[in-house]
Structure 1
Amino acid sequence: MAQPYPYPYPCAPFADRPIPVLDPQFCAPYPVDLVIVRKVLTITDGNFAVTDVNGNLIFKVKASFFGLRDRRLILDAAGRPILTLREKILTSHSRWKVFRGDSTDLKDVIFSAKRSSIIQIRTKLDVFLANNTAEEVCDFKVKGSWSERSCVICAGESSTVVAQMHKKISAQSVLLGKDKFMVTVNPNIDYAFIVALIVILDEINSND
């Protein structure tokens, strides 16, 4: 497994080299289009399926096996846990920590994300890689309108977009009680990392 990219994160185009936040296997040399389907009428909240545009399963997102609302697991298509997302309880900025595999040990933290400010009209999250302990400048920033499912993820405080999301509505998705959104991940960007950010966004806004 590759270690997170060293801080500070370069705010420059990424077309020439992969940026593996989790692992190089999740970095493609071309844009990756993902379809994220959130089941909104199920007993268990927070369940997602992530597919490619042809419907092939890439990831599954499930609530903790212990039923805790503050934890989500991202599994690969074979059901193996690759990331654990855990909310820090009683924080004003809704901070989440993301760990490698099914661990919640601090040595396995990959990154954390929190609201840029306590009160927000539009969505803004600051994302810090694990070795950015000072957190003076974020490594990534998420901004946009969650209600419209229109968000971009940028490198640091720059305007360099690494991924963007928009809502995809179909008659079938409405009928089946599912919320669909499309995410385009730019070349050489870790798309497992981007999926984790989308799940955190959904959790923070659902809690609101």
Structure 2
Amino acid sequence: MAASIMPIVSKAYCSSSQVVLDVRSRPHVVSGGGFVVTDCSQKVVFRVEGCGTLGKKGELILKDGEGNDLLLIRRKGGIVEALSIHRQWRGYALGYQGSQKLVFSLKEPNSCLVQNNPIRISIEPSQCSKYSSYEIKGYFSERDCSIMGSRGNIIAQVGVEKVMVSKDLYHVVVKPGIDQVFIFGIIAILDYIYDGSTRC
């Protein structure tokens, strides 16, 4: 049975089979930090640039292997966030002539009272997705977590090889039909939250 395609940002990045991609963090001294995503043949599929490159805290850009912008990610700030129990991130698909369309938002616990709650992601209602909400289970800080659909199904899994001791190199398994741009948008935010290479 063929996998159903679930584009959230881009149908072009929904594979009909499972995909395993490697993530390698870039040091801040090289290209301002961020990370690079490669396939099994070491071809660059995505690049994520953090505030070391952009010069703005709480802003990330996901690009394709050619350097074209795919997703702009911003943390919502201000007094409302300071008083809220959640910090909110928003992912915008970048269209022609710089147009931005909100495609997902992620709520990060902002208080010790909700620290053990899972991180939740919601899809904008206008998007054609079978699921409207997702959550992170596990510990991204240990590079050991899953992105789950609303029915409890795993859509992507982050892990490290047992022989590796560095968290700067890990892999992500993306299930068939799942939008890889969306997955790496979420991973870019997790990297920032957990003081990764995207953060200044």
Question: CA RMSD of the aligned region, Å?
Answer: 2.9
Contact 2:140 2:158 in 1 (8 A): no
Higher alpha-carbon deviation: 74-83 or 56-65: 56-65
Residue-pair matches, total: 184
Give how far 1:54 is off.
2.2
Change (3 A) 1:189 1:50: same
Contact 2:54 2:60 in 1 (8 A): no
SS in 2 for 1:28: coil
Change (3 A) 1:114 1:104: farther
Gaps of 5+ in 2: none
1:57 aligns with 2:44: yes
What do residues 94-115 of structure 1 show as CA deviations (whole Å, max 9, x unaligned)? Answer: 211011127987x611111012
Q: TM-score normalised to the size of structure 1?
A: 0.76
User: Within 5 Å, which residues of 2 pair with 1:59-208?
Assistant: 59-63=46-50, 66-90=54-78, 91=81, 92-101=85-94, 108-115=101-108, 118-119=111-112, 124-131=118-125, 139-156=133-150, 158-168=151-161, 179-206=168-195
Change (3 A) 1:94 1:188: same
Separation in 2, partners of 1:186, 1:162: 5
The one-letter amino acid paired with 1:69 is K
Gaps of 5+ in 1: 1-13
The one-letter amino acid paired with 2:72 is T
Contact 1:123 1:144 in 2 (8 A): no
The one-letter amino acid paired with 2:20 is D
SS in 2 for 1:141: strand
Higher relative contact order (CA 8 A, sep 6+): 2
Give how far 1:200 is off.
0.6
Separation in 2, partners of 1:118, 1:72: 23
Task: Indicate the percent of aligned positions where both proteins have the same amino acid.
Answer: 25
1:11 alignment counterpart: none
User: Within 5 Å, which residues of 2 pair with 1:21-40?
Assistant: 21-40=8-27
Q: TM-score normalised to the size of structure 2?
A: 0.79
